[in-house]
Structure 1
Amino acid sequence: MKRYTMAQFEAGERLKAHKKVFQGLDPTKPLSEFSFCVLDTELTGLRRRHEIISIGAVRIEHLALKPLDRFYTEVCPKAWTKTGTLIHRISPQQCQDAPKIGKVLPELIAYLGTSLLIGHNIALDLQFLQKACKKHLGHPLVHPCIDTLRLARVYEESRWESYYDRFTLRVSYQLQELAQAYGLPCFPAHNAASDALQTAYLFVYLVHKLRETHPLVTLEELYRCGRGWRWYF
C-alpha cells in the first residue's frame, strides 16, 4: 500500500474536493468571473520515462494578467539528461538541490486552487503532471483546461476566412513565434516561468481579438469557439 506524507494526503483530498467543484461548474458565467492559472512544465525529454524538471504558473483574474502572482520551482528528477542543460539551461547541480516532485506537487495544488488551467499544447504538460499526481497524491488533476495552441488556430482561421488574400497559410504555432507575430512582449524560451507568462499574454490577447468576430462572453462560448478542446474532469 502506497504511503503518503501528510502534505500529499491533504493535497489528494483537495483534488477530490476540487472534482465536486468542477462538476458543478456553471459554463454560462462570464469569463471575467473565472480564475485561470497558466501552467507550463519543462522536461528531461518527451518519452514516457522522462520527468519534470521545472514547473511555472501565473494567475489571470477578471481576464487581467497578475504577473506578480506566480509559482515557480525546479524539480529534482531521478535521472538527468543533457537536454535539461542544453535546452532549459538548468544545470545538474541546480536540480540536485531542488525538491523532488512528490514534495512540489502539494504546493502546486494549493496554488492552483479551483482555477481553470491554460497552457500551450497543455496536453503534454498534463501527461506528465497526471502521472506524477496519481503516483504521489493518489488522485489526478481534475481542472478543466484550455489550450492556447487551439485558440490560436481558431483565430488564424477566422483571419483567413475574412482576409484570405492578405495572409499566408504557413503559420507557426510555436509560442514565441506567435508572440512575435502578434507584437506581444517576448520572454526567454524553454523556461517554465517565462513560458507560462508568455502563454498568459497570448491567452488574453487571443480572447480580446476573437471577441471581434465571435460571441465570446461566457466560458461556454469560449468552449464552442474552440470546439474540440479537451476538458478534464
Structure 2
Amino acid sequence: MTPWRTRPAPGPPHPLLVENRDRFQTFDTAVALKDCDFTVVDTELTGLDPRHEEIVSIGAVRVRGLCIVPGESFSVLVRPRKDLPKQSTLIHRITPQQVQDRPRLRHVLPEFLEFVGSSLLVGHHVGLDMAFLNRAMADVYGLKVENPCLDTLRMAQIYRAEHWENYYDRYALNVSYALSDLSMEWGLPRFPAHNALADAMQTAYLFLYLIRKIQGGRLVTLHDLYRAGRNWRWHSS
C-alpha cells in the first residue's frame, strides 16, 4: 500500500481541466436550463474525510434537455490504496474481492473527465463528492474541476422553504434531506441506495423533480435557479 505522503508528483494537466478552467471563468448563468448538459454524479467512499479516505466507486448519468439520457452513463469500481474498512463495506456493500483487480483511481480519471466534458455537475451533497474528486484531480493533474456544480440537497431546502408557514418550520427536527427519504416523500422512482450509479440516477430524478417544482415550475435559466435560493452559492472547492 502506497502511503498518501509518498504519492507521485502531479503529471501534466489534463486538457479538459485546462479547457474548462478557461471556459467557466466567464460563465453566463442566463443560459436556459433546457439547453444545458448536466452530469449527475455520485461516489462511494472508504470514509468521509477526503484527506485520508478514498473513492471506491464513481457513477454518473447524463441529463440533457431536462431529460435523463438513456445509455449515457458512467460506472466504475476503483481499487483504493488502503484496505477497505469493514464499516464502509457494510454501507456500500463493495467487498475487497470486488476491487482487488480494479484499476487505481488515477487510471479511471481520464475516462471520467471525457464523460463529464463541459457539462454542469449535479450531486446530492455534491460538496463531498467534489472534495474527493478534486483532491484526486489535484494529485494527478495539479488542477481541479472547474465545472459549476448544483446541489440537490440545497435545492430541496429551497423548495421546502417555499412551503414554510412560519419562521419555526425551519427548525423542524423530523425533516430529513437524505436522498432516499426525499425520493420516498415525493413519490419518485426508487433505486438501491449506496450504489454510485443507482444513487446518481436517483439524484437525477430528484434534480428534475425540483427543477419543475421550485417557484411553481417557473425556472427557465440557471440565473432563475440562483435567485430562487437568494443565499445560493455555486459550489466550489
TM-score (norm 2): 0.88
Where does residue 109 of structure 1 map in the other structure?
113
State whether structure 2 residue 196 is matched by structure 1 residue 189. Answer: no
Q: Does 1:53 align with 2:56?
A: yes
- Asked if the contact 1:147–1:229 (Cα under 8 Å) also holds between the matched residues in 2, the reply is no
Given that 1:74 and 1:95 are in contact with CA atoms closer than 8 Å, whether structure 2 keeps it comes out as: yes
Report how far residue 13 of structure 1 moved.
2.0
Post-superposition shift, 1:85?
2.0
Q: 1:67 to 1:172 in 2, by over 3 A?
A: farther
8 A contact 2:10–2:139 mirrored in 1: no
Structure 1 distance, partners of 2:71, 2:164, is 36
Letter in 1 for 2:176: S
Asked if structure 1 preserves the Cα contact closer than 8 Å seen for 2:47 and 2:54, the reply is: yes
For the residue of structure 1 that corresponds to 2:162, the secondary structure is: helix
Distance in 1, Cα, partners of 2:234 & 2:32: 20
Q: What is the correspondence of 1:32-47 to structure 2 with a 5 Å cutoff? A: 32-47=34-49
Between the aligned partners of 2:155 and 2:173, the Cα distance in structure 1 is 16
Q: 8 Å contact 1:54–1:74 — kept in the other structure?
A: yes
Aligned mate of 2:28, from 17, 26, 44: 26
Q: 1:212 aligns to what SS in structure 2?
A: helix
Matched, 1:218 2:221: yes
Aligned Cα root-mean-square deviation (Å): 2.0
Number of residue pairs aligned between Structure 1 and Structure 2: 224
Distance 1:139 1:202, change over 3 A: same
Q: 2-side partners of 1:231 and 1:92: how far apart?
A: 33
The equivalent of 1:78 in structure 2 is 81
Aligned residue in 1 for 2:207: 203
Residues in 1 aligned to 2:9 and 2:215: alpha-carbon distance in whole angstroms? 48
CA contact (8 A) 2:10 2:142 kept: no
Q: Percent identical across equivalent pairs?
A: 46
Q: Please name the residue that 2:5 is paired with.
A: none
User: Is the Cα contact below 8 Å between 1:35 and 1:115 reproduced in 2?
Assistant: yes
Please give the secondary structure, in 1, of the residue aligned with 2:164: helix
Letter in 2 for 1:140: K
Q: Assess if the C-alpha contact under 8 Å between 1:59 and 1:69 holds in 2.
A: yes
User: Could you list the runs of 5+ residues in structure 1 that have no partner in the other structure?
Assistant: none
Change over 3 Å in CA distance of 1:3–1:131 after alignment to 2: closer
For 1:85 and 1:66, the matched residues in 2 are separated by 30
Q: Residues 84 and 91 of structure 1 are in contact (CA less than 8 Å); yes or no, is this contact kept in structure 2?
A: no
Pair 1:64 & 2:71 matched = no
Q: Does structure 1 retain, via aligned residues, the 8 Å contact 2:10–2:138?
A: no
Cα pair 1:150 1:229 within 8 Å, conserved? no
Q: What is the CA deviation profile of residues 74-99 of structure 1, one whole-angstrom value per residue up to 9, with x for unaligned ones?
A: 10001121133211111101111111
User: Which segment is superposed worse, 197-206 or 89-98?
Assistant: 89-98
**Partner Cα distance (1:198, 1:103) in 2:** 27
Is the 1:133–1:140 Cα contact (8 Å) retained in structure 2? yes
Query: Quick check: 1:143–1:232 contact (8 Å CA) kept in 2?
Result: no
Which amino acid is 2:119 matched to?
Answer: S
Q: Which residue of 1 aligns with 2:17?
A: 15
- Counterparts in 2 of 1:113-192, with a 5 A limit? 113-161=117-165, 170-192=174-196
> C-alpha separation between the residues in 2 aligned to 1:27 and 1:46?
31
In the TM superposition, residue 137 of structure 1 has moved relative to its aligned partner by 1.6
Relative to 1, partners in 2 of residues 1:160 and 1:92: Cα closer, same or farther, differing over 3 Å? same
5+ long unaligned stretches in structure 2: 1-7
Partner of residue 3, structure 2: none
TM-score (norm 1): 0.90
